[in-house]
Structure formats: C-alpha cells, structure tokens
Amino acid sequence: MSQSVLQDGKIFIGKSTKPEYLELRFANRHGLITGATGTGKTVTLQVLAEGFSAAGVPVFAADIKGDLSGLAAVGEPKDFLVKRAAEVGLGDDWKQRAYPTIFWDVFGKEGHPIRATVLDMGPLLLSRMLELNEVQEGVLNIAFRVAADEKIPVLDLKDLRAIIANVAERSKELIQKYGNVATTSVGAIQRRLLVLEEQGADQFFGEPSLDIKDFMRTAPDGRGVISVLAADKLMEKPRLYTTFLLWMLTKLWQTLPEAGDLPKPKLVFFFDEAHLLFNEAPKALLERIEQIARLIRSKGVGVYFITQNPMDVPNSVSAQLGNRVQHALRAFTPQEQKAVKVAAETFRKNPDLDTERVIMELKVGEALVSTLENKGEPSMVQRTLIRPPEGRVGPVSEDERLSVIEYSPVYGKYEETIDRESAHEIITKRTNTATEEAGSTGGGWGDIIFGGGGGSNAPAGSKPKGRPSQGMGEMIGKDLQRSISRTIATTIKNIIVKSITGRSR
Ligand SMILES: Nc1ncnc2c1ncn2[C@@H]1O[C@H](COP(=O)(O)OP(=O)(O)OP(=O)(O)O)[C@@H](O)[C@H]1O
Ligand SMILES: [Mg+2]
C-alpha cells in the first residue's frame, strides 16, 4: 500500500512491521524526540512539521543549526532519500515540495525580528534571563509592581533601567508599601542588564511586539505556516534562548482560549535543545514549565521537546509527553547505560522487541516510536524507519532565505522599531518638571512652605530633610547628571565592546 504524508487525520511517520502514525487528535498531548547527535532528530522534526502543515496546523520550531530551514525549499531526490522512500512504502507517491515558511530571528538578521516588551516578559522570566539571585529578583519584582501601580509602561531595556534607578532613588519612600530595595542589588541588576544588552538582547525588547496570531497562519493552499526561528546565534546564550521560548509558550497559554479536545491542534511548538531549559532551572521556573505543559494542552497547543537524552527532561514534564520518538543512544559509560535503560522503560512493551538492545542498534533515521492511540493510550513500541521529508534535507541558501523573507505575509510589519513614550521618557520628564519647579520656586514660596524642600510632585525619595543647604533643584540636577553620565558611559562601553569583539549584533 502506498503512503502519503497524511491519512485520515494521521501523520505518516514511517514504517515498522506496519505503517506508523501520529494521530492529530492526540497531537496536543505533547511529545519527545530524543537521540544522540547525528541520529536523525532534526529530520524527524521536519517530517512531523511537514505533516502538521499538510494537515493545516501551523507550526513553530527553533532551528538550532540552520538545517531545518530546508523545509522552505523543494527537496532533492537524492539517492539515500529515494531509497528510504521506497523502504517505507512511499514509492512514486513521494513528492518533493517546499512548505510555507516564515523565518524569524530575535536579532532581525535571518528573519523577521521578534520582540516582546519587558512587561510582557515579566519578572520571573526576566530574572532567569538576567541570572538574578533571590534578593535581586525581589527588587525586580518591586520595580514591576511600582510600574504597574503608577501605570508606567516598561517596554524596553532603557525603560527597565529607568524604573529600577527610580525605585532605588525612592527606596525610603517605597519601603513601607513594597519592601526593601537594597542598593547593592540594584547595582548588580544594572550590571546584568548591561551584559544582556551586550548580548544583543536590547533588540529583542521593545515594540512592535509579536502578534501571536502571526504564528497561527495558514497559507492560501490551506497548509499551516511553519514559523522557523533562527536559533544558531541565540543558542550561544542558552538563558536567553530558553527564557525566550518559554515566554512564547507563556504568551500562547495566556492568549489562546480554552479549546478542549480538538480533531487537530491549533498550533504545534517544537522546542529543540530542550535540556538547556531544565539545566539548573530554579524551582519556580520548573513549576511554571510543568504548569504550562499541563494547561496549554487544553488550548489546543502541542509541545514537542527535542533533546539528546530522555533523562534531560524532569519526570513531571516527561510524564506529560505522550508521543515519543527515540533515536539511537550510545551506551559506553555507566551513565549512558542507565539512560538507555530508562529510555527503554518509558515505552509500552512490545513482546517481539528487546527495547534496550534495539536503542543501541538503531541506524540513522531509524527510531523506536510510540504514539497515543484509541482512547489515548500509548501504542506498543515499534522499531520504525522514519520516512524522508518532502522539503530539502539541509539548509536553504542565503538568497533563498532572503526571498522567503521578502515574500512573507508579515514583511514590513516588524522591521522598524517603535519607541513610544514609556518609563524612560516619563521618568526623565517627571524629574525635569520637578527640577524646573524647584528651580523657579527656589528661595521663594517653595522655600517658605517646604523649608527648602520641594513641591508635592517632586519625586519622593530625593529627601531634602536635614540638608537644607542643598536645594531640591540642585539635588535632582545632580541625580539627573549622574544618570545621564551613566547612560553615556554605557553607550561608550557598548561601542568599545562592539569594536573589540567585532560584534554588530
Ligand atoms: N528519515 C531519514 N531519511 C533519510 N535520511 C535521514 C533520515 N533521518 C536522518 N537522515 C540522514 O541523517 C543525517 C543526520 O540527521 P539529523 O540531522 O536529523 O540528525 P540529528 O539527530 O538532528 O543530529 P544533531 O544532533 O547533530 O543535530 C541527515 O542529514 C540525513 O542525511
Ligand atoms: Mg539536529
């Protein structure tokens, strides 16, 4: 019997003793693709992504090495692919075609820029991104709460700097309501922000922020659009990479309505190099991941983790991953042998297979496969030859990428940053106003009423008490000067760093 990508609500994955499928109605029960390097994980991801797209399901996937980008191009019938097509029963039905793709890139080079506002990111993820300790995270929380209470939009890193500096300056005034803002922590956060900026993250924070609907598009021919995130550069900053993807999941979870069980998912999300997400993740973050995995399912979103070793994924998350593809694992060290054993045990046993032994024998592009079937129980594990994709195996050329970007339906929407009035401007303006007022009333009514202090709308925290010789205007002026010279120093430092490292991103 010949096979096409899609059959009766099922994606054709490959062939064991029989054809193996992933049922679309269970695709929101998440999945896991594992295997050592070079064993076929990315190709399996591509096969699944193409299958979802063919079924009209939009896909988001991080492209770690650039090789996933090939799905935007027509595949070539190379010998090993033609051979595999015949082996899995595709024969003449195997067609080569390009898939509708949108390229994204946090740095805006290899695809359309993706941006989020600082507020959108929230203090938990931001703390993780900045690698803050608990005390520092507390300060960041205060800054977020003050901004929310005073309705100050915190959009980009400039804004975040401004609000943190402001909170620090007003620490005496804020302590009652919000708790202590330790100045040492403030300094540490500001330094971390500098590091983040040097990593190029300043491009990521700001507006226009990503409209999640752009991840949920279908092409005119009804296929789901595959959003491919260029993650090669991003991967060099694992914290940035993982928090960023986690933010996207959070956003999907917050934005999408409850959907219950659907005949097919609304979106499928592939999270490559997933071990980075769990490495040293603090408890709060792990809880967040578990929670999102659990709840996003009923929003019709399937999440597929890709990692080398199944033990990379904590049990609480792993237990939620219903559809599994296990490529070959090596087992030289005791640690590796243990991983093989664990991997073997996660599958529903097949009396005809010695799962543990097979994991070590699997050839490239071959895998143990078990997916959810019937009422949602895992199918018996099968040794499966994975089908070849229809798009290209391997990366697109630079020219091909550019033309995909230019013809994309979102072209022009995100390219230019908008810098509307937000925390940075508002706080500067507030300070300036206070300066002027204090200046104009200096030695006049103001002095008489406030004893040389300042008006009621002077930013609190710059407390004049006990220092009558220094007028409010003077003090704020100094503050302002300090913060300006700080900003200039930062800018200069950035330029120097860039010129040394030759990094333009
Ligand atoms: N289903 C398949 N059909 C035919 N060839 C395949 C298949 N899967 C993998 N291959 C071959 O194996 C090569 C490596 O596969 P792939 O890039 O998917 O490995 P990987 O596990 O993602 O490796 P890495 O961990 O290094 O990213 C492919 O370039 C392709 O030549
Ligand atoms: Mg790969």
Return the ligand 1 atom nearest residue 386 CA.
1
Strands 267-271 and 301-307 come out as parallel
Query: pLDDT per residue over 298-321, tens digit each?
Result: 999 999 999 999 999 999 999 999
Q: 415 lies in a domain?
A: no
Task: From 406, 438, 458, give the residue that closes a domain.
Answer: 406
Residues 280 and 241 grouped into a single domain: yes
Residues 428 and 302 grouped into a single domain: no
Q: What is the rounded distance in angstroms from the CA atom of residue 4 to the CA atom of residue 186?
A: 59
42 lines ligand 1 (CB under 6 A): yes
* % the chain with pLDDT above 70: 85
80 lines ligand 1 (CB under 6 A): yes
pLDDT band at 441 (very low <50, low <70, confident <90, very high): very low
- pTM, whole model, 2 decimals? 0.83
Pocket test for ligand 1, best of 272, 364, 368, 369 (most atoms within 8 A of CB): 364
**Helix H or strand E segment including 367:** strand 366-370
Which range among 239-248, 301-310, 479-488 shows the weakest confidence by mean pLDDT? 479-488
75 lines ligand 1 (CB under 6 A): no
Answer yes or no: are the C-beta atoms of 320 and 293 closer than 8 Å: yes
Residues 80 and 226 grouped into a single domain: yes
Query: pLDDT per residue over 443-457, tens digit each?
Result: 333 332 233 333 333
Answer yes or no: are the C-beta atoms of 26 and 376 closer than 8 Å: yes
Mean pLDDT confidence for 483-492: 44
Provide the residues around ligand 2 (an ion) whose CB is within 5 A.
41-42
Q: What is the rounded distance in angstroms from the CA atom of residue 498 to the CA atom of residue 505?
A: 8
Look at residue 386 and tell me whether its pLDDT is greater than 70.
yes
Mean pLDDT confidence for 54-71: 96
Residues 384 and 327 grouped into a single domain: yes
Q: How far is the CA of 404 from the centre of ligand 1 (A)?
A: 24
pLDDT band at 3 (very low <50, low <70, confident <90, very high): low
Q: How far is the CA of 266 from the centre of ligand 2 (A)?
A: 25
pLDDT band at 437 (very low <50, low <70, confident <90, very high): low
161 lines ligand 1 (CB under 6 A): no
Residues 162 and 277 grouped into a single domain: no
Considering every ligand atom shown, identify the ligand nearest to the alpha carbon of residue 364 and give its number.
1
Q: How far is the CA of 276 from the centre of ligand 1 (A)?
A: 21
Domain extent, residue 343, equals 6-115+207-406
Residues 352 and 469 grouped into a single domain: no
Q: How far is the CA of 113 from the centre of ligand 2 (A)?
A: 23
Answer yes or no: are the C-beta atoms of 62 and 271 closer than 8 Å: yes
388 lines ligand 1 (CB under 6 A): yes
Query: pLDDT per residue over 140-169, tens digit each?
Result: 999 999 999 999 999 999 999 999 999 999
Q: Which residue has the higher pLDDT, 36 or 198?
A: 36
Residues 268 and 387 grouped into a single domain: yes
Query: pLDDT per residue over 205-237, tens digit each?
Result: 999 999 999 999 999 999 999 999 999 988 888
Pick from 277, 223, 306: nearest CA to 43: 306
Q: What is the rounded distance in angstroms from the CA atom of residue 459 to the CA atom of residue 267?
A: 47
Q: 416 lies in a domain?
A: no
Query: pLDDT per residue over 327-377, tens digit each?
Result: 999 999 999 999 999 999 999 999 999 999 999 999 999 999 999 999 999
Pick from 265, 180, 168, 178: nearest CA to 216: 265
Which range among 120-134, 251-265, 414-428 shows the weakest confidence by mean pLDDT? 414-428
In single-letter form, the type of residue at position 170 comes to R
Q: 172 lies in a domain?
A: yes
pLDDT of residue 448: 29
Return the ligand 1 atom nearest residue 365 CA.
8
Look at residue 463 and tell me whether its pLDDT is greater than 70.
no
Residues 96 and 39 grouped into a single domain: yes
